[in-house]
Structure 1
Amino acid sequence: MKHFKVKGELLKKAPASPYLYHQKRTLDELKENSVVFNTYPTGAGKTKASLLYIKENPKIDVLFIAPTNELLRQHSEDIKEFVKDNNLPNIVVKIDANVIEKLRDNHRKGSTLYELLSNPLSFREELLIENIEYDSKRPIIVVINPDIFYYCFYSLYNGLDKGNLMQITIKKFSYIIIDEFHYYNAKQLTNFLFFILLSKEFEYFQYGRKICILTATPDEMVEQYLRRGKIQYKIVSKENEGIESEKYESLKTLSELDLYITNETLEDVIGTLYKEKEFEKDIVVISQSIYRVNKVKEQLINNGIDKNNIGVITGAIKSEERKKAVQRPLILATPTVDIGYNFKKENKENQNIDEVLTEANTSDQALQRIGRAGRVLGKKIQNKRSKVVLCVTDKVYEAFTEVEKEISRKELKDIILEAMPKRNIMKKYIESSGILELCFPLEEVYMKMPYQLRNKIEGMFNSVTEVFAPKSRYNFKFMREKIKNYKKQCAFINEYNKTSKKKELIQNIDNSIFLDFYKNYCEGEEEDFIDNSLLEDFSQEEIKAIKLSTEEDIIHYINREITKIKALMNFRGTDISKPALVFDKYYKFGQEHQIFIYDIFHLIRYYDIEWYDSRSSFEKISKIKLNDYDVELNHLDKIDTFIIVNEIRENPIEITWEYKFHGEKSEFEEKYVNKVEAINNIVLVGYEYTGLGKEKVYLPERVTNAFKENYIPIFTISQSPKEEYKIRKIIKNQPIFLQKVKIQFFEEDKEYYTIMGTNSIIVDNEVIKNKVNKEEAFIF
């Protein structure tokens, strides 16, 4: 292990003020700038810094966006306490999918959400809002996840509500706080940056709107877009504190630290360090994988550690159990705790967390997790050293050089940034598919504008494109046509799937949809000659006959085109997943709850499981009866897969796919390889490697066929070392994985690599841009 001794961290107090210097700076900069970033370290009180503006402007409506539901809960509690302590009139409302679901049964979600945003007092009883006297309409602080914000802003609710929700999201809130900004990927950053640009273009900043962003150091890309958009912004950071602050009183926020860098595995380090049955210190172990967390827990218990000393915090663990887990001396967690998680220890006088043992692939992960140890702001005892063991790859380990002297946190940060790779943000999406995505809300605004003002939206598109993709050669008219075609296709498929008169409907399909299909159908032959004149060369009856003869191909084409665009219209993107109701028979996941919902891919790969055909047989075997409330709240009536977990597998199963292609290999490679397409009829397959070789794993037919009906966007490459290396380099340090797909041709089978879902589009954008750089041309 390589050892670094690190000094404690101090934060300055603002003179003649109860606030920290950075908190007062944030407040002051918000008075002068439209957008303010606070990039101080974790645990420095950034959330309070953002709330001070509300204290000075108590009549404004506020939107607080946090990335996880656990953070929503923590922030809503903290904000309620802040409002109460400062005697503010604001109503604090936490909104997630469950809240909307519970407020009104069998009612449109969009309508409920609009009423909630407009007047939360109409749900006073359900939301437990205190009856406080106030001489006018009470302002609200909405604590919301980005998914709902996105659905409102991008006008994705049903036709009756989407206009109202989009309007209230754009207009209502004078102050927006975006927490954990560094958490988001390029696609998600596009959505927030677009909202900021729209606020400028609609002159909301001119009339007082402010945006406060809480983050690690913002990516240069973000600053570049803000500068291009002429957004007035300021970064409040430890690195740019004023000279006058050198004389200010300081408070200790982080204790002295012993950092150990190792290239050993997490399991090996744990097996060496943590053998005692009683713990004098509070320890957090953070692993990249829930599978590894569960293996480590089993390893510790097998080594004689009392399970009551172990707490588990992962995505599979319910909120109540997480709260209890925090009080245990040894906490095992996934990166869910990276995002603002608060390890509150009752009545502890020194730091809540004394030791952190973690693995990390990138510098931002390492810095975030190191910052979990030794937080002493406001603690009575501040002189106890903390300890962090950081597990890295051999290559990264070699990049670290030990330093004999004790170093500052700033010096440590520089060392880590030098030795470890940065987060791979994959920003090319913003310059390509992101432009189409952001045109959806622009199209909605355009359609609601009076004719004489619509040119303002076209100008806004040009301004936004200049910021995100200055080399793009597409105009707003082209994008509007693309969106209109998409909406036509969606309307047609919806009607086609419902009607019993499918033949009649296909004969009368909109000619513009048919021509788009026919050009694709004749690709490589005569597509350059297919235009509206084609319809003049045939009689109406002949055109109907052509449409009818190609019905299956038309439907296949439209579904493919819809799928590729629909994959963009989701904040987190579309992932290929299928939920299962799980009974954890031997507590392999948590310590208390045995029933939860989880994705089948993880369960198939890492656990010995049993499958059940119905919820009734599942309940009978597990001896647990689910009540109606749980069924309704968790939408269990929509789940058809039931699993009992027995053991953790030593050797994970390989998940692959099979797809039968009706054509030649050359035809497949021309249409599908090195580009995004959408396919259906793909079959899930699992393989286990045993002493007898590679053996197929039994999976129920409803599971293997679960993905056959739905269309899935895929990006496929050959298994040549050159192609594999190119793609692995692009997706490095991203939660994007290459999977194998076996394509069954008439005479042979061949394996390829594939990436599925929205990630296929993101990766495709990166590949296209690489080609563009070589050709010095821009391809959208």
Structure 2
Amino acid sequence: MIRFTLEGQTEKLAPHGTFPDTLTRRPLYHQVQTWDAWKTHTAVLNTYNTGVGKTIASLLPLLDIDAENRPNKQRNVLFIAPTNALIAQHTDDIKDFVREHNLNFHVFSARADDIKRVRGGLRPGETLQRYITNYPEFERTEQERRSIVMVTNPDIFYYALYFQYGAHDRRNVFKAFLMRFDYLIIDEFHYYDNKQLAAFLFAFLIFKEWGYFDAGRRVCLLSATPRPNVRRYLEGLFGEQLAEVSPQNEPETTAEYDTLPALTPLEVTVITDTLEDWLENTGADTLRQWLDDDLDGAIISNSLGRINRAYARLKNRVDSIEMGRITGPEPQEQRSQATARKLILATPTVDIGYNFAKHNKSRQNIDFVVCEARFQDDLVQRIGRAGRVLGKDIIDKTSQAIVLLPDDAAHEFRALDGQTLNRRDFAEWLNNREHLTSKHALEAYIRKYAALELAYPLYQLEFMLAGDDRHELDTIYERACELFGVAYPQARWGLKKQFQRQERRMAWLREAESANKHTPPSKTAEHLADYLAFAHPEVGRVEPNDLSP
């Protein structure tokens, strides 16, 4: 068993006179710095710690956007969050911010289920595009069209940008995402997988090459644990137009600023155990004691199965009114109810940005957390759920974290046994761990596949551009390859032939699935010949006629 302590953390308040009196509460220093950087830079990266108000920092520019909006020139906002649970939470938070500051925005979430609820017999892509361009069509109580804040997930963004909606809608949806949003906020930028990150980088490249950034479009990225390679890509894209707002670059002159407590001290215990074994040995008794002491907490596991087994295991020690689950299969209503329970059992649904709201609680909402962790990102996010006291009355009660790790990862933590660290030093120490690595190997994917994959939306864009403008697509492709650090992998015209062949194959499959059409054997033979040439190139090309009956 290894024990160490992470110090509590305070955040500097913005000095009076650096923010408008119209704000309903005094903002933090980093929030105003983010707002100021947004006014002068194309892209802002806020890397402050989890739980210290980065979301509010990204929303402050809405005050400027609202003040500049006119009936004939409305500016829209796109907010992207990595999970649907977080989208629901952010949608509520943004609505509260808009209401609190009397702003004129229509805020809505755009997940697959949201689109289904409003589409009224329309295709999903058609519904999404029409809602973005004219949402009062679906909201009968709206008297006039206002600027929108759309909160969505990276999958819908990817589908829109890479022309993955149906053939009738893909171009209209692409145009809506390309042209309709003037401010793009991406929350938890470190959390996305390689394909999603590559899609964001491609979008930024398109915005840059086609002049949207020059016309005033802005990007705000929020990440407590950005990876060095992501920074390199962003610097390659934006250059001096990228501003980083970070604890590491606070001027010395801010040392005397007023501060506000943000995180309590955290006592961390590292145990080499599985969740099941820990509960069987001492964990169930420990949890019961904490609950009896009127503490609130969470168990976070990588596995839905382990969470369900832990829930069943604890039923004889913890009353059902005290315990709830926040997992993917749980209905939204039950997740909301679980948030208020004293003990929450959760999957990675809650890893990033999720707030465990407790009504009228005067200290931290989460007093203790028990978690597994396979990656550095998981560990930082999960123990960061505990001890958040920003805006709370009671700020001096130490929080607890029990971290369950395999032997090799836990062994590395022996160097911290008995120590007290600040959170910045702990994050730097984690970066050098052999057995607790970062989550995504971004560069491996980008160098092998991303440049090839983005050739497909460029292929689709050829149908939307006049002939004289199509050479711009080659330039964008070349610059993407330069940005991703790969040699020009294949001329786009060669890839175009593959895309055309793939589209013919998809049309053939649709015909084969149709009950009303008979697929000629010659077509089947043609596609089978293509497959054999791909799977067995050593055999050489087999002619379709040789395969026909």
TM-score (norm 2): 0.90
Deviation (angstroms), 1:165: 0.9
- Tell me the alpha carbon deviations over residues 205-225 of structure 1, each in whole angstroms, 9 at most, x when there is no partner: 111111111112322221222
Query: Do residues 293 (structure 1) and 307 (structure 2) align?
Result: yes
Where do 1:179-328 residues align within 5 Å? 179-231=187-239, 232-267=241-276, 268=278, 269-276=282-289, 278-302=292-316, 304-328=317-341
Aligned to 1:474, what secondary structure does the other structure show? Answer: coil
Structure 1 stretches of 4+ with a deviation exceeding 4 A read 499-503, 508-511
Give the alignment of 1:624-635 within 5 angstroms. none
Contact 1:42 1:371 in 2 (8 A): yes
The yes-or-no answer on 1:66 pairing with 2:75 is no
Query: Which digits, 9 at most, give the CA deviation of each residue in 1:726-747, with x for residues without a partner?
Result: xxxxxxxxxxxxxxxxxxxxxx
What secondary structure does 1:325 align onto? helix
The corresponding residue for 1:158 is 166
2:426 and 2:515 map into 1 onto residues whose CA distance is: 65
Per-residue CA deviation, residues 660-692 of structure 1 (Å, 9 max, x unaligned), is xxxxxxxxxxxxxxxxxxxxxxxxxxxxxxxxx
Distance 1:155 1:384, change over 3 A: same
* Offset at residue 81 of structure 1 (A): 1.2
Q: 1:278 to 1:272 in 2, by over 3 A?
A: closer
CA deviation profile, 1:484-518 (whole Å, cap 9, x unmatched): 11111111222233377746x2336797x576356
| Partners of 2:478 and 2:488 within 8 A in 1 | no
Q: Determine the structure 2 residue equivalent to 1:432.
A: 448
| Structure number, greater radius of gyration | 1
1:546-570 superposed Cα distances (whole Å, 9 cap, x missing partner): 3423xxxxxxxxxxxxxxxxxxxxx
The code of the aligned residue for 1:12 comes to K
1:331 is matched with 344
What RMSD in Å do the two structures reach over aligned CA positions? 2.2
Q: Is the 8 A contact 1:6 1:258 kept in 2?
A: yes
**Matching residue within 32, 44, 57 for 2:40:** 32
1:475 match? 491
Q: Deviations over 1:116-170 (max 9, x none)?
A: 0001122223xx65x5xx7xx5211111122222222211222222111111111
Aligned sequence identity (%): 35
1:50 positional shift: 0.4
Unaligned runs of 5+ in 2: 20-25, 70-74
1:293 shift after superposition: 1.3
Query: For residue 459 of structure 2, what is the aligned residue in structure 1?
Result: 443
CA, structure 1 residues 114+510, in 2 after alignment: closer, same or farther (shift >3 Å)?
A: farther
Counterpart in 1 of 2:109? 94
Alignment of 1:137-156 (within 5 A): 137-156=145-164
The residue aligned with 2:422 is 408
C-alpha distance in 2 between matches for 1:161 and 1:76: 26
Report the equivalent of 2:97: 82
Compared CA separation, residues 346 and 110, structure 1 to 2 (3 A): same
Aligned equivalents of 2:398 and 2:492: distance in 1? 59
Spell out, residue by residue over 1:265-322, the C-alpha distance to the aligned partner (whole angstroms, 9 max, x if none): 33324134124473411111111112111222222223x3222221211112111111
d(CA) in 2 for partners of 1:510 and 1:91?
Answer: 54
The number of aligned residues is 525
The more displaced of 468-477 and 483-492 is 468-477
> Distance between the aligned counterparts of 1:422 and 1:398, measured in 2?
14
Return closer, same or farther for 1:333/1:514 CA change in 2, 3 Å cut-off: closer
Q: Which residue of 1 aligns with 2:504?
A: 488
Residue type of the alignment partner of 2:127: T
Q: Show the counterpart of 1:11.
A: 11
1:417 and 2:426 aligned: no
* Residues 225 and 377, structure 2, Cα contact 8 Å, conserved in 1: no
Counterpart amino acid of residue 222 in structure 1: V
Matches within 5 A, 1:662-681: none
Could you say which residue in structure 2 is the equivalent of 1:745?
none
State the SS of the aligned residue for 1:3.
strand
Q: State the partner residue of 1:41.
A: 49
Q: Gapped runs of 5+ residues in structure 1?
A: 535-542, 550-780
Structure 2 CA distance for aligned equivalents of residues 346 and 508 of structure 1: 64
1:313-357 Cα deviation digits (max 9, x unpaired): 111211111111122211111121112211111111111111111
Aligned partner (choices 331, 337, 355) of residue 342 of structure 1: 355
**Local SS of the residue matching 1:411:** helix
C-alpha contact (below 8 Å) 2:42/2:238 kept by paired residues: no
Residue 525 of structure 1 pairs with residue 539 of structure 2: yes
Given that 1:432 and 1:469 are in contact with CA atoms closer than 8 Å, whether structure 2 keeps it comes out as: no
- Cα deviation, 1:143-200, whole Å, max 9, x if unaligned, reads 1122222222211222222111111111110100111212211111111111111111
Deviations 1:387-446 (A, max 9, x none): 111111211222122455533222332333344522241332212222232112111112
Looking at structure 2, the residues matched to 449 and 76 of structure 1 have their Cα atoms a distance apart, in angstroms, of 36
Structure 2: distance between partners of 1:495 and 1:183: 40
SS in 2 for 1:93: strand
* One-letter amino acid of the structure 1 residue matched with residue 36 of structure 2: D
